[in-house]
Structure 1
Amino acid sequence: MDAFYDDPKNSNPHFKPTLNAHGHMLDVLDEYGEAFVAFARNTTKPVADLGVAFGFSTKEILKTGATVYANDLSEDMLKELNDSLTEEERLRCILKPGNALELDFEPGSLSGVLALRWFHFLTGPEIREVVHKFFTWLEPGGKVVITCSTPYSGRAKSFIPEYEERKAAGEEWPGFTTKQIQEVGGLLKRESFHKMEPVILERELKLAGFDVEKAGFLTRSYYPAHWQLDGREYCGVIGVKPKNL
């Protein structure tokens, strides 16, 4: 794994390879992550940051004074996060190791949920189920922010023709594939990937009951050049649970 990041064509100061070979953590927030941090400044209940790796996003949220549930599959990475916090921050950071899909929070107990860069590892039914969970966990007026990779990247461009054909045919989940796409920096061959566009994320949030505040594509200008394509490498969505519930 280290050899990949030592390759000059892949080197990037914003990348930190994860300990569990699931890819890398970014130490930069896009506009959707920034929007969540801004929202967290005025929350009254805890927020959940799911799939945090070493917790860069979690630390940005903690700076706002919010209380954060920090989740990741890797207990070791959560330990590293915890060790990097101040004593006061540790009082507001509750570690939740394990699969985010298996977490449970009391209905209405959270002000926000952040899920950056891991929805492309889920199946369609898993996406639908977890988005409904998010809706249940959030208080009225609470927000969810999700980002996900799209087919429109240098690493997945061989999949684009099939994706667009399936989308044109009206498939519900046209971006789900079990083909081996060169992904996660070439570090890991997964059994499947799920490439999505903003319209899919927007659809799923609306089905769960959210009002969609924003949805769109995201460029990844800080990625290696051969990972980029046309500025649509990622997508994001912000959903709000209606206050009248």
Structure 2
Amino acid sequence: MDVHNTVFTASAGLSILFIVTLLVLSPADAKAAIDAVKAAALSKFDFVFMWGANILLIFAVLIALSPLGKIRLGGDNATTDYSTLSWISMLFAAGMGIGLIFWGVAEPTAFFTNWFGTPLNAEPFTPAGREAALGATVFHWGLHAWAIYGMTALSLAYFVYNKGLPLSMRSVFYPLLGDRVWGRVGDIIDVMAVLVILFGLATSLGLGGSQAASGISHVFG
């Protein structure tokens, strides 16, 4: 295994510190602190998420329609390891399955009934609330979401398989930062990427586990 000592140590240390902090706090205090951070992020930086997704979608469409869309990942003579059908199957089975199956129905229902708030403060149980609920769900699970996933994957794939750079998030920033990505700046980028992926996976696995537990409890009592 090729382990980057600085990135591994910093990522593991910050993760353990976060977990220990949660254990030291009472569950109620930890939940209140996380909810406060979440509320502040949503109220102060929601425009970053909205505009970021819009810009990435437009950027993805422009790349696909421009001559850049004809660049073959891996080089001109590269061949695919899997068929298109296999890729689609893996994407939906391993990447989007649990979300689409559950939240594809639960999310618009939750928005419409004001289970955890309504988009744009629309009135629940009204035609306007229904449209806002469906619109927010499509934004979360439609083309915008795929643009975010696609641009991240495309950036990594291009610089790794076409430019020969390491399979690391710092490689994506090489055109902007140059050789500085191999120093402390790159370490910070990789540590942030590891933490984001770790917490994202924890959220997904936590939601999946709670769904599975609820289903088992409903079936077997």
- Is TM > 0.5 for Structure 1 vs Structure 2? no
Greater fraction of residues in strand? 1
Whose Rg is larger?
Answer: 2
TM-score of the superposed pair, with normalisation by structure 1: 0.24
TM-score of the superposed pair, with normalisation by structure 2: 0.26
